[in-house]
Amino acid sequence: MLDSVGANTKIESLSDVLRHKMRLTAICRCGHKATLDTEKLYRYYLVRGWDVRKHMLGDHICCSRCRSRPTELRVTHLLPDGPDWGPRTEDQWKALVKRMRG
pLDDT in tens, 31-49: 999 999 999 999 999 999 9
pLDDT > 90? residue 101:
no
Residue 1 lies in a domain: no
Residue 2 lies in a domain: no
Residue 95 lies in a domain: yes
Average pLDDT over residues 1-19: 79
Residue 8 lies in a domain: no
Question: Would you place residue 94 in the very low, low, confident or very high pLDDT band (cuts 50, 70, 90)?
Answer: very high
Q: What angle do CA 95, 97, 102 make, to 5 degrees?
A: 95
**Domain range enclosing 60:** 14-101
Residue 87 lies in a domain: yes
Residue 4 lies in a domain: no
CA distance 89 to 93: 6
- The continuous run of DSSP H or E covering 26 comes out as strand 23-27
- The continuous run of DSSP H or E covering 74 comes out as strand 72-76
Q: Look over the chain and give the mean of its residue pLDDT values, rounded to a whole number.
A: 90
Whether the Cβ atoms of residue 2 and residue 17 lie closer than 8 Å to each other: yes
Number of structural domains (the chain) is 1
Neighbours of 63 (CB within 10 A): 20
Residue 60 lies in a domain: yes
Residue 34 lies in a domain: yes
pLDDT, tens digit (0-9, with 9 covering 90-100), for 47-91:
999 999 988 999 999 999 999 999 999 999 999 998 888 899 999
User: What pTM was computed for the model?
Assistant: 0.85
More confident residue, 10 or 35: 35
